[in-house]
Amino acid sequence: MHEVHGDAVTSTAQSIRDRVRKAIKGQKQKTVTVLSCLLAVEDELGWIPAEAVEEVAEFTEATINDVWGVVSFYTNFQTQPLGKHRMEVCWGPTCHLVGAQKVADQVLKSLGLPSEGTTADGAITLRYNTCLGACSNAPVVSVDHHLMGRMTPSHAADAAERLKRGESIGGGHAS
Protein backbone atom coordinates (compact mmCIF):
# COMPACT_ATOMS: atom_id res chain seq x y z
CA MET A 1 0.00 0.00 0.00
CA HIS A 2 2.71 2.46 0.96
CA GLU A 3 4.96 3.22 -1.98
CA VAL A 4 6.95 5.80 -0.10
CA HIS A 5 9.59 4.61 2.34
CA GLY A 6 11.54 5.99 5.27
CA ASP A 7 10.57 9.30 6.81
CA ALA A 8 7.53 9.79 4.57
CA VAL A 9 5.89 6.58 5.87
CA THR A 10 6.74 7.55 9.45
CA SER A 11 5.29 10.99 8.82
CA THR A 12 2.10 9.49 7.38
CA ALA A 13 1.73 7.09 10.32
CA GLN A 14 2.28 9.98 12.75
CA SER A 15 -0.27 12.08 10.91
CA ILE A 16 -2.79 9.24 11.17
CA ARG A 17 -2.08 8.86 14.89
CA ASP A 18 -2.53 12.60 15.42
CA ARG A 19 -5.89 12.58 13.63
CA VAL A 20 -7.00 9.47 15.57
CA ARG A 21 -6.08 11.01 18.92
CA LYS A 22 -7.92 14.21 18.04
CA ALA A 23 -11.00 12.23 16.97
CA ILE A 24 -11.21 10.05 20.06
CA LYS A 25 -10.48 12.90 22.46
CA GLY A 26 -13.02 15.12 20.74
CA GLN A 27 -16.02 12.94 21.54
CA LYS A 28 -18.76 14.95 23.22
CA GLN A 29 -20.84 12.19 24.84
CA LYS A 30 -20.44 11.32 28.54
CA THR A 31 -19.69 7.65 28.00
CA VAL A 32 -16.72 6.90 25.80
CA THR A 33 -16.33 3.29 24.74
CA VAL A 34 -14.24 1.29 22.33
CA LEU A 35 -17.17 1.37 19.92
CA SER A 36 -17.67 5.13 20.19
CA CYS A 37 -13.94 5.67 19.65
CA LEU A 38 -13.95 3.47 16.55
CA LEU A 39 -16.95 5.35 15.17
CA ALA A 40 -15.16 8.65 15.80
CA VAL A 41 -12.08 7.35 14.00
CA GLU A 42 -14.11 6.12 11.04
CA ASP A 43 -15.85 9.49 10.83
CA GLU A 44 -12.43 11.17 10.78
CA LEU A 45 -10.51 8.85 8.45
CA GLY A 46 -13.16 6.83 6.66
CA TRP A 47 -11.53 3.59 7.80
CA ILE A 48 -9.82 1.95 10.79
CA PRO A 49 -6.05 1.57 10.32
CA ALA A 50 -3.90 -0.53 12.66
CA GLU A 51 -2.56 2.64 14.25
CA ALA A 52 -6.11 3.56 15.28
CA VAL A 53 -6.64 0.21 16.95
CA GLU A 54 -3.51 0.81 19.03
CA GLU A 55 -4.56 4.35 19.94
CA VAL A 56 -8.12 3.30 20.86
CA ALA A 57 -6.76 0.47 23.01
CA GLU A 58 -4.47 2.84 24.88
CA PHE A 59 -7.16 5.52 25.28
CA THR A 60 -9.83 3.11 26.57
CA GLU A 61 -7.40 0.94 28.54
CA ALA A 62 -8.51 -2.08 26.55
CA THR A 63 -6.26 -4.61 24.89
CA ILE A 64 -5.47 -4.46 21.20
CA ASN A 65 -7.22 -7.82 20.85
CA ASP A 66 -10.36 -6.40 22.49
CA VAL A 67 -10.41 -3.50 20.03
CA TRP A 68 -9.80 -5.78 17.04
CA GLY A 69 -12.65 -7.93 18.34
CA VAL A 70 -15.03 -4.98 18.07
CA VAL A 71 -13.68 -3.96 14.65
CA SER A 72 -14.07 -7.47 13.26
CA PHE A 73 -17.53 -7.99 14.82
CA TYR A 74 -19.08 -5.01 13.03
CA THR A 75 -18.67 -5.69 9.34
CA ASN A 76 -19.39 -2.08 8.44
CA PHE A 77 -16.02 -1.01 9.85
CA GLN A 78 -13.51 -0.68 7.04
CA THR A 79 -9.94 -1.79 7.68
CA GLN A 80 -8.65 -0.64 4.30
CA PRO A 81 -8.82 2.83 2.77
CA LEU A 82 -11.88 3.25 0.61
CA GLY A 83 -12.15 4.61 -2.88
CA LYS A 84 -13.39 8.10 -3.64
CA HIS A 85 -16.81 6.64 -4.49
CA ARG A 86 -18.59 3.80 -2.73
CA MET A 87 -20.98 1.33 -4.27
CA GLU A 88 -22.80 -1.18 -2.12
CA VAL A 89 -24.92 -3.98 -3.43
CA CYS A 90 -27.54 -5.08 -0.94
CA TRP A 91 -27.12 -8.71 -0.08
CA GLY A 92 -30.16 -9.06 2.17
CA PRO A 93 -32.63 -11.91 1.66
CA THR A 94 -35.15 -9.88 -0.35
CA CYS A 95 -32.54 -8.40 -2.68
CA HIS A 96 -30.91 -11.78 -3.03
CA LEU A 97 -34.20 -13.40 -4.02
CA VAL A 98 -34.97 -10.82 -6.72
CA GLY A 99 -31.63 -10.66 -8.49
CA ALA A 100 -28.87 -9.11 -6.38
CA GLN A 101 -26.40 -11.76 -7.58
CA LYS A 102 -26.80 -10.72 -11.22
CA VAL A 103 -26.58 -7.05 -10.23
CA ALA A 104 -23.40 -7.71 -8.25
CA ASP A 105 -21.88 -9.77 -11.06
CA GLN A 106 -22.46 -6.97 -13.55
CA VAL A 107 -21.01 -4.31 -11.25
CA LEU A 108 -17.93 -6.47 -10.61
CA LYS A 109 -17.49 -6.89 -14.35
CA SER A 110 -17.90 -3.16 -14.99
CA LEU A 111 -15.38 -2.26 -12.31
CA GLY A 112 -12.93 -5.00 -13.26
CA LEU A 113 -12.95 -6.46 -9.77
CA PRO A 114 -12.91 -10.18 -8.93
CA SER A 115 -14.76 -9.55 -5.65
CA GLU A 116 -15.45 -6.80 -3.14
CA GLY A 117 -12.72 -4.21 -2.99
CA THR A 118 -11.38 -1.03 -4.47
CA THR A 119 -10.51 -0.45 -8.11
CA ALA A 120 -6.81 -0.26 -8.97
CA ASP A 121 -7.01 3.51 -9.41
CA GLY A 122 -8.61 3.91 -5.97
CA ALA A 123 -11.66 5.57 -7.47
CA ILE A 124 -14.43 3.16 -6.51
CA THR A 125 -14.96 0.71 -3.66
CA LEU A 126 -17.55 -2.03 -4.05
CA ARG A 127 -18.97 -3.75 -0.99
CA TYR A 128 -21.79 -6.12 -0.30
CA ASN A 129 -24.13 -4.86 2.41
CA THR A 130 -26.15 -7.23 4.55
CA CYS A 131 -29.20 -4.95 4.28
CA LEU A 132 -29.69 -1.42 3.01
CA GLY A 133 -33.19 -1.30 4.52
CA ALA A 134 -35.15 -0.70 1.33
CA CYS A 135 -36.55 -4.16 0.73
CA SER A 136 -39.66 -2.90 -1.06
CA ASN A 137 -37.36 -1.54 -3.78
CA ALA A 138 -35.19 -4.64 -4.10
CA PRO A 139 -32.69 -5.20 -5.51
CA VAL A 140 -31.03 -2.11 -4.09
CA VAL A 141 -27.65 -0.50 -4.70
CA SER A 142 -26.19 2.41 -2.77
CA VAL A 143 -23.90 4.83 -4.58
CA ASP A 144 -22.20 7.30 -2.26
CA HIS A 145 -25.07 6.78 0.21
CA HIS A 146 -27.79 7.40 -2.41
CA LEU A 147 -30.13 4.43 -2.63
CA MET A 148 -31.07 3.19 -6.06
CA GLY A 149 -33.94 0.72 -6.12
CA ARG A 150 -35.30 -1.92 -8.46
CA MET A 151 -31.89 -2.21 -10.01
CA THR A 152 -31.27 -4.28 -13.05
CA PRO A 153 -27.83 -5.54 -13.96
CA SER A 154 -27.67 -3.01 -16.80
CA HIS A 155 -28.72 -0.08 -14.57
CA ALA A 156 -26.11 -1.07 -12.01
CA ALA A 157 -23.44 -1.38 -14.70
CA ASP A 158 -24.44 2.04 -16.02
CA ALA A 159 -24.02 3.53 -12.53
CA ALA A 160 -20.57 1.95 -12.25
CA GLU A 161 -19.58 3.26 -15.67
CA ARG A 162 -20.78 6.75 -14.78
CA LEU A 163 -18.67 6.69 -11.61
CA LYS A 164 -15.67 5.53 -13.61
CA ARG A 165 -16.13 8.55 -15.89
CA GLY A 166 -16.25 10.80 -12.82
CA GLU A 167 -19.94 11.63 -13.13
CA SER A 168 -21.89 12.10 -9.93
CA ILE A 169 -24.92 10.00 -9.18
CA GLY A 170 -27.31 11.92 -7.01
CA GLY A 171 -30.29 9.90 -5.97
CA GLY A 172 -30.15 7.55 -8.95
CA HIS A 173 -33.38 6.25 -10.30
CA ALA A 174 -34.84 4.98 -7.05
CA SER A 175 -38.43 4.02 -7.46
Residues 129-151: tens digit of each pLDDT = 999 999 999 999 999 889 999 99
Angle (deg, nearest 10), helices 153-164 and 100-111: 30
Report pLDDT for 134: 95
pLDDT, one tens digit for every residue, the chain (175 residues): 444 455 666 678 889 999 999 999 999 999 999 999 999 999 899 899 999 999 999 999 999 999 999 999 998 898 988 898 999 999 999 999 999 999 999 999 999 999 999 999 999 999 999 999 999 999 999 998 899 999 999 999 999 999 999 888 864 443 3
Cα(32)–Cα(59) distance, rounded to whole angstroms? 10
Burial 121-130 (b: 16+ CB within 10 A, else e): eeebbbbebe
Cα(46)–Cα(93) distance, rounded to whole angstroms? 27
Report pLDDT for 9: 62
Contact 141, 88 (CB under 8 A): yes
Cα(22)–Cα(42) distance, rounded to whole angstroms? 12
Contact 157, 141 (CB under 8 A): no
- pLDDT tens for residues 104-123? 999 999 999 999 999 999 99
Contacts of 23 (CB under 8 A, 6+ apart): 37, 40, 41, 43, 44, 45
Q: Per the confidence metrics, is the pTM higher than 0.85?
A: no
Report pLDDT for 3: 43
Report pLDDT for 170: 64
**Does an H or E element contain 143, and which?**
strand 141-143
